[in-house]
Chains A and B, each alone.
Chain A
Amino acid sequence: MSSLAKSPSLRRYNGRVTRLSLLYAAFLMGAVYAFKHHLVSGPAAWVAAILPALAIVGIFVAIGRYLLEEQDEYLRVLMVRQSLWASGFALTIATIWGFLESFELVGHIESYYVAVLWFGGLGLGACANKLTIGNFGGRGE
């Protein structure tokens, strides 16, 4: 086990992300089933639709809490750099796609894919960390 895995704040972060990911899967499957079988309408439909999103928002909050709780300044820097890469990557792709879509050059994509891009950007940031200051950060060595 790496020293990174032993960081108490990182352990808490990993636990929160795991629980939120499971919640997301449960909420999403529940919402898809409920809408497919016309089980929800009115305010209940709003709640069912927004619950999966709240689980994703929870992961953003978990990253923020990790940054506040992490006592190791180097590990904190790794995560900050990853988050900057993620934000830059997601915003860049979303902005370019938005203009292409406005000029009807590409099709419409649901806006929640920005979150998917952001999580992909975290991976890019981890690679950038490894190439520049030697460690992936987050879960990696």
Chain B
Amino acid sequence: MNMSKRIRSKISRGSGELAILSLLAEQPLYGFEIAKQIGERTGGALNFTLASLYPLLYEMEKRGWVEGRWQANQAGRDRRYYRLTATGKKQLAPLRQEWLSFFQALDSLAGVSHG
């Protein structure tokens, strides 16, 4: 893997973590809903496929940031709902700060405005 790919992969992973944690901070959701809401709320800028979502979700679950539990959705189908854990809540603020600093650094370097 070359350097630019590695950086891209880290950026997409980091942004994915922040997006998932932010969504789950509002309410518990299952995988399909997470992907759908992220796509809708970012206007398609962030798009999760099944292949990109679940390895990340499972990794976050292993770290104890989120917790998955099977329960029926509104249609009565069993879905694995993820909710934020106390550890996940603690991660959210520093992660937000990290991204803010990252964009501010880009702003000052490239004159890119993001507001």
Q: Please determine whether chains A and B interact with each other in the same assembly.
A: no
